[in-house]
Amino acid sequence: GSQISCFSPTNFTGKQSAYVDTACWDSLVHHGFDAEGHAVTKSLWALKVFPYSLLVVAVLMYLPYLLWRYAAAPALHSDLLFIIDELDKSYNRSVRLVQHMRKPEQFWEEYERARRERYFEFPLLERYLTCKQHAHSLAFIYILRNILLLIFLAATCLYLIFLHLNIFFQDEFSCSIKTGLLRAEPHIPSLIPCKLVFFSVFQLISFSVGGIYVLLVPVVVYNALQLCQWDKGLLSVYEMLPAFDLLSRKMLTCPVNDLNVILLFLRANIAELTSFGRLNAVSALRETTANKEDIDTVIDFMTLLAGLEATKPKH
């Protein structure tokens, strides 16, 4: 429908009134007077392009997602699959030692044999984590994505503030059609009052978009700052396993690297790490037990792990 409604003189025909609406909408210039009585003009052209500017904003906000989706997500997905698989294997190896014991008194013998055979060592995982610690491609894309989001959010908010301060409090304006051949027509008034029909809709949309983007700014800043510190609490429970101290040795340098990015997304996909829930339960049990010495030994700890498994030991 029509975006504008002008109050043409009563002696205008229907076609003349339609021409006034079209001409005023095409020009969209407010003619008024300042405090001293001088004629001033103010362009309201930004209202005409406001719906299209929101489309541009939507495209810009989609660019960081495309950057992450095609530049980082495939490599991150494969990294997460490998690390999740290796962490579950480290847990399964510890439980398997207990499940295959014939007699409890043979535990230390089996344990020492497993240590000699490097049963609990993870050279591939260790080298992989070291490699990721010295890589920065994922971290660079992660930081770039958040910077782009902040720039686009701030630019959109400033744009909406500019519209509200200059235009979005003026839904009525005075239009002049005395141009060209109509300049010398005496029966045409110099100024015709007009009103923007969808002005309130534009205001509601701008307030909604601005409010959402303002709330998103601290979220983006928080996500970006997560890369400035190691997430030690996530995988610290795995250090209770025999010979698993890979993470504590890796988390001593600058956290802005690919390994920390992987740990951040591993936290978001912790449900895929099946062994984490069992180890976390044992860790909580150790913290709440009155006499911690009851489950402080390797035998008691690994026996608890074996008790969490549904399978029976195979003799």
Q: Is the pLDDT of residue 116 over 80?
A: no
Considering the domain boundaries, does residue 299 fall inside one?
yes
Q: Global pTM?
A: 0.75
Provide the domain count of the chain: 1
The mean per-residue pLDDT over the stretch 82-103 comes to: 73
What lies within 8 Å, CB to CB, of 131 at 6+ separation is none
Considering the domain boundaries, does residue 265 fall inside one?
yes
* Residues 179-205 pLDDT 10s: 776 776 777 887 888 888 887 888 888
Whether the Cβ atoms of residue 244 and residue 90 lie closer than 8 Å to each other: yes
Report the pLDDT value the prediction gives residue 272, as an integer from 0 to 100. Answer: 87
Considering the domain boundaries, does residue 272 fall inside one?
yes
| Domain extent for 257 | 45-170+209-311
Considering the domain boundaries, does residue 134 fall inside one?
yes
Considering the domain boundaries, does residue 180 fall inside one?
no
Q: Is the pLDDT of residue 95 over 60?
A: yes
Q: Higher pLDDT residue, 52 or 167?
A: 52
Considering the domain boundaries, does residue 303 fall inside one?
yes
* Residues 15-69 pLDDT 10s: 888 888 888 888 888 877 776 767 777 878 888 888 899 999 999 999 999 999 9
Percent of the chain clearing pLDDT 90 (strictly above):
23
Considering the domain boundaries, does residue 28 fall inside one?
no
Considering the domain boundaries, does residue 283 fall inside one?
yes
The mean per-residue pLDDT over the stretch 163-190 comes to: 76
The mean per-residue pLDDT over the stretch 298-304 comes to: 51
The mean per-residue pLDDT over the stretch 254-260 comes to: 88
